[in-house]
């Protein structure tokens, strides 16, 4: 069984430990950053994150003592998890007791009931793009495990009695490993809780939702998926870009800029993706775009192919760069775009009313159809 007894196994497998004795205030080792408050998403050490999850830290956020030295990212992660463990175990115990004491009407009732797990897609950031089902499930949750790219506005739908737990990942800092996320989902589901796993975009499009679903189903846990508007669809619509268009693009292809092991050049698919009659959408591709662009052009995609990069799409903080493929990487650097940024490459980009040469190139495309 998972339940309370599973959490200590997490700490032993990943070397969880007590907060460093050198920190006068354990929470200070997390070094939350008030400068990140302008982000529409949950940044790894923002004060909003710790205020939202403060049930895990009791009253430690009100302490003001200083850290004697800056901790490294690994010690921050370990301290964070060590601080959370007591409250996580306590919540598991409460849920288990509630489940065991549930009434039985002769048809099974609530006693011994295993909880449900929902994988919920929250779209690219705009809360108005949530589905009605997503809102209903979010409001009914006992515990919500949420990623970095679940926008702050979406989290406003969480019910007052629910508990939130941040499990987001950024380059160089994973608040929880994927295996730890699996164990948390399993532990709380076995305790009878309604657990909602919130993911930006769609949970089954570069969201590792399939891995979580497979793991839980192998453990006998029922998983329900609530789809979300994937970033490609939401952001393209925001810019007026049709991902497919008769006579212009007869297919669309989604690529990831990340390799499984975090390599810098995973885009071996460029040879097959360099199709001028297709639209390419690259998720998480900022660091690998220079290599991808060169490979695409090497395999025949015209350097003049229209392209765009969109940071924090569909949110009030959205920033957009339009350029030909050969110039896109330099334009992104000049604009200092940061993650999350979605990249769209293809002739359909010139159909956007925001494309700098929109009227000229759009008319040429129409004439060519």
Active site residues: 147, 169, 284
Q: Among the residues of the chain, which ranges form H helices? A: 3-13, 47-52, 73-100, 132-140, 152-155, 178-190, 209-218, 231-239, 270-273, 289-298, 325-335, 358-368
| Distance (Å, whole) CA 193 – CA 110 | 11
| Distance (Å, whole) CA 89 – CA 83 | 11
Concatenated DSSP letters of 150-212: S-HHHHTTS-TT-EEEE--EETTEESS-HHHHHHHHHHHHHTT--EEEEESB-TTSSSSHHHH
| Distance (Å, whole) CA 82 – CA 329 | 41
Concatenated DSSP letters of 277-297: TEEEEEES-TTTHHHHHHHHH
* Chain centroid to CA 169: 8
| Distance (Å, whole) CA 241 – CA 104 | 55
Kindly state the tokens that stand for 164: 């939130």
- Element counts in the chain: helices (H) and strands (E): 12, 12
Q: Which residues pair with 255 in a beta bridge?
A: 282
Q: How far is CA 15 from CA 74, 77, 186, 207, 333, in A?
A: 11, 11, 20, 26, 38
CB 361 within 8 A of CB 355: yes
Concatenated DSSP letters of 75-97: HHHHHHHHHHHHHHHHHHHHHHH
Kindly state the tokens that stand for 189: 């589901």
Is the Cα torsion angle 259, 264, 269, 273 positive or negative in sign? positive
CB 308 within 8 A of CB 349: yes
């Amino acid at each position: 069984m998972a339940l309370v007894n599973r959490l200590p196994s997490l700490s032993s497998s990943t070397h969880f430990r007590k907060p460093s004795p050198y920190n006068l205030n354990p929470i200070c080792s997390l070094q939350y950053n008030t400068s990140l408050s302008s982000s529409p998403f949950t940044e790894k050490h923002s004060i909003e994150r710790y205020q939202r999850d403060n049930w895990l830290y009791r009253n430690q956020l009100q302490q003001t003592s200083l850290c004697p030295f800056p901790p490294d990212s690994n010690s921050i992660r370990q301290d964070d998890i060590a601080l959370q463990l007591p409250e996580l175990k306590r919540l598991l115990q409460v849920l288990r007791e509630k489940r065991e004491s549930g009434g039985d009407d002769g048809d099974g009732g609530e006693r011994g009931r295993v909880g449900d797990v929902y994988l919920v897609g929250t779209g690219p950031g705009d809360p108005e793009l949530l589905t009605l089902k997503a809102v209903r499930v979010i409001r009914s949750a006992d515990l919500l495990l949420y990623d970095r790219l679940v926008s702050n506005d979406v989290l406003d739908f969480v019910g007052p009695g629910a508990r939130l737990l941040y499990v987001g990942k950024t380059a160089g800092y994973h608040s929880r490993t994927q295996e730890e996320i699996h164990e948390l989902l399993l532990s709380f589901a076995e305790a009878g809780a309604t657990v909602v796993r919130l993911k930006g975009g769609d949970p089954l499009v570069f969201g590792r939702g399939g891995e979580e679903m497979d793991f839980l189903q192998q453990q006998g846990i029922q998983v329900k998926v609530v789809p979300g508007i994937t970033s490609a669809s939401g952001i393209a619509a925001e810019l007026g870009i049709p991902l497919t268009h008769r006579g212009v693009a007869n297919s669309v292809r989604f690529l990831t800029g990340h390799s499984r092991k975090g390599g810098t050049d995973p885009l071996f698919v460029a040879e097959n993706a360099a199709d001028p009659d297709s639209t390419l959408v690259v998720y998480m591709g900022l660091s690998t775009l220079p290599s991808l662009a060169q490979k695409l052009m090497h395999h025949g995609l015209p350097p003049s192919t229209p392209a765009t990069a969109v940071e924090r799409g569909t949110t009030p903080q959205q920033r957009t760069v339009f350029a030909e493929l050969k110039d896109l990487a330099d334009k992104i650097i000049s604009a200092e775009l940061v993650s999350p940024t979605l990249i769209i490459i293809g002739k359909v980009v010139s159909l956007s009313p925001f494309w700098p040469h929109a009227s000229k190139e759009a008319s040429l495309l129409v004439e060519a159809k």
